[in-house]
Amino acid sequence: MNIYVTNLVNFLSANHNVYLITKDCDNCDLNFLESNVKVIHCNPKDYNPKNVLPNFDVIISNYWTSGIFCKLNLSKSNAVKINISHTWST
């Protein structure tokens, strides 16, 4: 994962419960040591709205996920939304 995203998540997790929303992937390397960082893997087009999302105050997502998932499922949320355009690592 992009070092910028990792640093941002680690910084925010000091004072917030952070949920990083990303699409389903086979080879996920998103592991954080902090207990208040949760990674939610989802397919935003197939998300079941009956699934209750946890209470959160910050949402970090990549452009694809935020553009679809947040519009479909979190449009009424007052949480701070941080959209990162690219999370590819090279």
- Is residue 39 domain-resident? yes
Query: Can you tell me whether residue 20 is helix, strand or coil?
Result: strand
**pLDDT given at position 9:** 80
Q: Is residue 29 part of a domain?
A: yes
Q: Which two tokens stand for residue 3?
A: 């070092």
User: Residue 14 falls within a domain, yes or no?
Assistant: yes
| Residue 58, in any domain of the structure | yes
Considering the domain boundaries, does residue 26 fall inside one?
yes
Consecutive 10-residue runs of the chain (90 residues): their mean pLDDT?
Answer: 74 81 67 68 67 69 66 75 62
- What total of structural domains would you count in the chain? 1
In a domain, 90, yes or no: no
In a domain, 89, yes or no: no
Rounded to two decimals, the pTM is: 0.57
Range of the domain at 34: 3-84
In a domain, 73, yes or no: yes
